Amino acid sequence: MLKKFSLFFILLTIFITSVNAFEVKIGKMGYVNRAIISLQFDVVNHLGEKKDNWIGIYKPGTSNEWKNVIAWAWIKDLRNGIAPGDDSQRNRYYFYDLAEGSYELRLFENNSFETSASFAFETSEALDNPKLEIVKQTEVAITFHATYIENSWIGIYKRGNFRNDWQYVEAWSWVKDSEVTINLEDLPRGDYRARLFYRNSFKDEKRVSFSHNGIGKEPFVTVDDFNGFSTMRLSSSFQVGESKSWIGLYKKNDSNAIENRVVWKWVDSTESHLQFSNLEVGVYELRLFYDGFDEPVAKTEVNVDGKQVFRLDKNHYGQHQIYDMYQDITYFAPMNGNDWVGLFKQGAERKRENLISWGRPFDYGYTNRVIFKTPGKVGKYDLVYFINDSYEQFGKSMELEFR
C-alpha cells in the first residue's frame, strides 16, 4: 500500500553539456502533500522558452516511453514566479504530488523522448515531513509520536540550550516505532525541549517543548519578581497530562469565586508571568488551583504598596550632551496639577540647591509622562516625584545612570 504523499526539500544542480547547461532546484513548499520543482535554464540558449521542451517524472530504470510517465509538463506552460526581464526566461516552477519512493526527473527537448538530462531523487515522509508530538505525559514519563528512519533517536535538552552535543542530553531513547516513551524519574523539575534526530546524527529534524514538575513535589507558588504595578514573574508547581492547573490573583479577603479574580492564567510550566493594570493599593493573594480541588492547593501573599511611581526601577543611557528626555509614570502617581519630578545626583539631599533639572508630569494617552533635561555628564542620578510644589517625595525614586 502506498504511503501518503510527502513533501521534500533537495537542492540539485545539473550540468548537461557546455551548450545545454541548466539548473534544477527541488524545494519544499508550505503545503501538505505538495512539492515544487524550480527549473533554471541558461538564458543564452533559452531552453525554458522553446515550446516543445518538456519534463517528465519516471520511476528509476524505466524507459522514456510515454506509458512510464508518472507526471509531466511543457516547460513553456510552467508557472513563472519571477518579474519580467531576463530572469523571467530562466525560471519555471512545477507543482506536483508524489507517493513516497524513488524517482527520476528527465528533461526532453523538441518534443522528443531523448533524455537531455536527468536527476534521481527520493521522497520520504520521514525525511521530508518529520514529526515529533507529545501523546501523553505523566509525572514519571512522557510519550512521543515520531517519524523515524534507521538509527533515529530522541534527546531531551534543557529549554534555552541550543546546542545538540551529547554532553547536553538530559535523557534519551532510540526510536524504533511511531511511539516512544522516555522515563522522567531522574529528570529534575524544569522546562525542556525534546529533539528528534535521524541516522544517529546530532542534526535535529523536529523539536517540541514540555515542562516537568518533578516527582512527588508538594504544590507551591512563589513570586520571583514583581515590578509593583503591572507585571509579575512567578514559579509554581503544576499538573501534567489531561489535568490543568491555574493561577489567580485575588484580594486577600475575597472568596475564590471566579468574579473575584483580578487576573488569572493556566499554568503548564515552571515559570509564569501575570500582567495587570490599575491595581488598588492593598494586600493580595496569589492562589494556585488544581483540577478537582475547590480550594487552592497553594497560595502566597502579595503586597501592593502603590509606591512604584516610575515604570522602571533603574535604567542607563549614553551621555553626550544635555538633551530632553522622558520617563513614563505609573497610575499610582497622584498627578495633581502642582506635582513635579526632579533630577538629583544619587544620594543628594532633596533640596533646591541640589536640583539639576525638573518637569511637570502630564497625561500622555494610555500612560503618564514627564520630560526633563539630562545632566550633561556621566554619573548616577535619582529621579524623584514630589507633590504640591513641595519637596515631599511620593513613592520610590528611579536610578538613572549616564555613561
pLDDT digits (tens, 9 = 90+) for 292-351: 888 999 999 999 999 999 999 888 887 778 899 999 999 999 999 999 999 999 999 999
Which amino acid, residue 98?
Answer: L
Contacts of 153 (CB under 8 A, 6+ apart): 172, 173, 174, 175, 196, 197, 200
Domain 221-304 classified CATH 1.50.10.20?
A: no
Distance CA(264)–CA(17), nearest Å, equals 68
pLDDT of residue 117: 80
The three-class DSSP label of residue 327 is: strand
Does 49 have pLDDT greater than 70?
Answer: no
The class (CATH top level) of 10-126 is mainly beta
pLDDT per residue as tens digits for the range 166-223: 999 999 999 999 999 999 999 999 999 999 999 999 999 999 999 999 998 899 999 9
pLDDT at 1: 30
CATH code linked to domain 314-402: 2.60.40
Predicted confidence at residue 12, as pLDDT, reads 34
The domain locations on the chain are 10-126, 130-212, 221-304, 314-402
So what's the pLDDT on residue 47?
62
- The 8-class DSSP code of residue 119 comes to E
Q: Which residue has the higher pLDDT, 6 or 148?
A: 148
Contacts of residue 74, Cβ cutoff 8 Å, sequence gap at least 6 = 51, 52, 53, 54
Is the pLDDT at 395 greater than 70? The verdict is yes
Q: 215, 139 in Cβ contact below 8 A?
A: yes
Sign of the torsion angle spanned by Cα atoms 131, 132, 133, 136: positive
Listed residue (136, 110, 106) closest to 121, CA to CA: 106
Q: Are 279 and 248 in contact (CB under 8 A)?
A: no
For the cut 80, the answer to whether the pLDDT of residue 8 exceeds it is: no
- pLDDT category of residue 243 using cuts at 50, 70 and 90: confident
Kindly tell me if the per-residue pLDDT of 252 is higher than 90.
yes
Average pLDDT over residues 374-390: 95
Superfamily of domain 130-212: Immunoglobulins (2.60.40.10)
At residue 30, the pLDDT reads: 41
Say what the pLDDT of residue 118 is. Answer: 82
Highest mean pLDDT among 5-9, 57-61, 76-80, 238-242: 57-61
- pLDDT tens across 127-160, in order? 778 999 999 999 999 999 999 999 999 999 999 9
Q: What contacts 76, CB < 8 A, 6 or more positions away?
A: 48, 49, 50, 51, 53
**Mean confidence (pLDDT) of the chain:** 86
pLDDT score, position 41: 60
Q: What does 146-214 look like in DSSP terms, one character per residue? A: E---TTEEEEEEETT-----GGG-SEEEEE-SSEEEEE-TTSPSEEEEEEEESTT-S-EEEEEEEEE--
Mean pLDDT, residues 43-63 taken together: 79
Specify the higher pLDDT residue, 275 or 105.
275
Q: Is the pLDDT of residue 81 over 80?
A: no
pLDDT of residue 24: 55
pLDDT at residue 32 greater than cutoff 60: no
Determine the Cα–Cα distance for residues 143 and 211; give it in Å rounded to an integer.
13
pLDDT of the residue at 9? 33
pLDDT (average), residues 79-83? 52
Reply yes or no on whether the pLDDT at 13 is more than 50: no
The confidence score (pLDDT) of residue 80 equals 57
